[in-house]
Structure 1
Amino acid sequence: MKRTRTQRTALTGLRLVALIVGAIVMVTPFLYMLSTSFKPQAYVLTTPPQFIPDPFTWENYVQAWTSQDFSRYALNSVIVAVVSTALSVLISSMMAYGFARFEFRGREVIFRILLIGLMVPAMMLIIPQFVLAKYFGLLDSLPGLIVFYVAGSLALNVFLLRGFFAAIPGELDQAMQMDGANAWTRYWRLAIPLARPALATATIFTFLASWDEFAWALTIINSPQNRTLPIAIQLFQGQNATQWGLVFAASVIAVIPVIVVYLIFQRHFVQGLTSGAVKG
């Protein structure tokens, strides 16, 4: 018995050490980016690396926000990410509710075809997406980003939400149906409030994907007024001979909305992720 307790204590200690090491490995690059964003250019590449800026300056943030119309790029990213997230979560939740609650011919076949979208690398779709965007007149426009961001996120969101909707007891739907509630009322007043954890998970994933996406935006956006933050940060790196303090300051600004969204929805994040992945 004593030996078993010792083994358990040792195993717990090893787990804690592994978690601490993993946390340090993951957090260190972000801390170094944050530190470098407050350093003058002359002190960026000092050896050994300094995590406490000395001297300390806000100039990188001021220059990043005021140069190259950065504030407009930030606004474009906010518009694209918010609209894409709202549309994707709304459409995918309706699709997931249909797959979970209604019986119709070919339901499982259609669902599995939809899931193929999770297996296809996004870069393989760049050329066909470009052809479609050109055909529908969506090149060099924010709607051209929104449409394809929504389409690209539907498969994962439907997969997560369907499992959660399927876990809601069917008796609740039947009770509302006996009271005269139609399908839309049951979806909006019953399923959506109960699915908040799954909706939070889908919101975080979709917002992050739309906010950080670079390849598709770089492919179709040509006009400076339609650029988003990832393109703006890439321009800083190219036109300023890689002024890392400036690049990292712009990156920190770009990270802030993602952190805010996660903090808003993090209460439900883990529960929604595990429910959507296991049930269904």
Structure 2
Amino acid sequence: MAVASSHQRLTTWLRFILAAVAAVVMVLPFVIMMSTSFKPQTLILEMPPELIPSEPTGRNYREAWTESSFAVYFANSLYVALSTTFVVLLLSSMMAYAFARFDFPGKKVAFVALLGGLMIPGIITIVPAFVLAKNLNLLDSLNGLTLFYSGGAVAFMTFLLRGFFEKVPIALDEAMTIDGAGAVRRFLHLYLPLSRPALATAAIFTFLGAWDEFVWALTVINDPGKRTLPVAIAALQGQRATEWGLVFAASAIAIIPVIVVYVIAQRQFMAGATAGAVKD
């Protein structure tokens, strides 16, 4: 018994140490970014580095927000991310509902084709996607970004939501059908309310994907006034290669909406992320 107890304590301590190391590895870059964003330019490369600046300043944040039309880029990214999230949730929830509760010709083939699209890396399709965007006059267009971001996210979100919709008790569906509820009413008043955790999870993933996307925005946006934040921050770094305080301040501003979205939907997101972990 003593040997078993000692072994258990050792295992617990090892898990604690590994978790602590992993936490430090993940948090340290963020701490360095925030620390550097409050340092004046003359102290950024000081040795040894200070995690808590001895002379903190908000100058980097003021310059990041007021210079180089940063507020415009912020608004562009917010518009694209929010509109993409709305379109993806609307389309994927309806498609997931159809795949989960209706039988129609070609259902299995369509779903397999949907999953097959997830296996193709997006970078492989960037050239034909660019040609398509050019032919549709969607270059230098925020709505064009929304359209292509939505097309890239709908398949996975449909797959995610379909699993949740299938868990809705069929007896509730049949009861509403007997009461005269049509497919649209059942979708709005039964499936969507019971699948809020899944919808919150899909919303967060979609928002983050659209907010952080860089390659496609860099490819199709040439107008400086239509840039999104990732492209704008990359351009800022190129113009001010040594002003890391300014670059990190811009990056810190860029993560504010991500934190806000996660805090608002945290409870539903955690419920959605853990759903299915315990089998009924």
What is the TM-score when the length of structure 2 is the normalising length?
A: 0.96
- 1:147-186 maps to which residues of 2 (within 5 A)? 147-186=147-186
The 3 A distance-change label for structure 1 pair 3 and 90 is same
Q: Distance in 2 between matches of 1:2 and 1:169?
A: 49
- Is the CA contact 1:161–1:276 (under 8 Å) kept in the aligned structure 2? no
- 1:103-252 maps to which residues of 2 (within 5 A)? 103-252=103-252
Name 2:263's counterpart in structure 1.
Answer: 263
**Per-residue CA distance 1:16-72 (angstroms, 9 max, x = gap):** 111111000000000000000000111112222211112111000000000011101
Q: Distance in 2 between matches of 1:207 and 1:242?
A: 31
Name 2:16's counterpart in structure 1.
Answer: 16
Q: Distance in 2 between matches of 1:69 and 1:260?
A: 23
What amino acid maps onto 2:233 in structure 1?
I
Runs of 4+ in 1 over 3 A off after TM superposition: 274-279
Q: Distance in 2 between matches of 1:241 and 1:34?
A: 18
Q: Distance in 2 between matches of 1:5 and 1:192?
A: 48
1:82 aligns with 2:82: yes
- Is the CA contact 1:73–1:227 (under 8 Å) kept in the aligned structure 2? yes
What amino acid maps onto 1:200 in structure 2?
A
Q: Shift in Å at residue 276 of structure 1?
A: 7.0
Name 2:37's counterpart in structure 1.
Answer: 37
The 3 A distance-change label for structure 1 pair 182 and 213 is same
Q: Distance in 2 between matches of 1:157 and 1:213?
A: 17
Q: Shift in Å at residue 7 of structure 1?
A: 2.1
Q: Distance in 1 between matches of 2:3 and 2:109?
A: 54
Name 1:254's counterpart in structure 2.
Answer: 254
What amino acid maps onto 2:144 in structure 1?
G
CA RMSD of aligned residues (A): 1.5
What amino acid maps onto 1:273 in structure 2?
A
Q: Distance in 1 between matches of 2:63 and 2:16?
A: 42
What amino acid maps onto 1:209 in structure 2?
G
**Per-residue CA distance 1:51-103 (angstroms, 9 max, x = gap):** 11121110000000000111011011110000000110111011111111111
The 3 A distance-change label for structure 1 pair 113 and 277 is farther
Q: Shift in Å at residue 242 of structure 1?
A: 3.4
Secondary structure of 2:265's aligned partner: helix
Q: Percent identity?
A: 56
What is the TM-score when the length of structure 1 is the normalising length?
A: 0.96
Name 1:58's counterpart in structure 2.
Answer: 58
Q: Shift in Å at residue 105 of structure 1?
A: 2.2
What amino acid maps onto 1:264 in structure 2?
I
Q: Distance in 2 between matches of 1:135 and 1:112?
A: 29
The 3 A distance-change label for structure 1 pair 210 and 277 is farther
**Per-residue CA distance 1:131-185 (angstroms, 9 max, x = gap):** 1111111110101100001011112111111111111111110000001111111
The 3 A distance-change label for structure 1 pair 154 and 119 is same
Q: Distance in 1 between matches of 2:257 and 2:143?
A: 21
**Per-residue CA distance 1:215-270 (angstroms, 9 max, x = gap):** 11111111122111111101111112331000000000001100111111111223
Aligned residues: 279
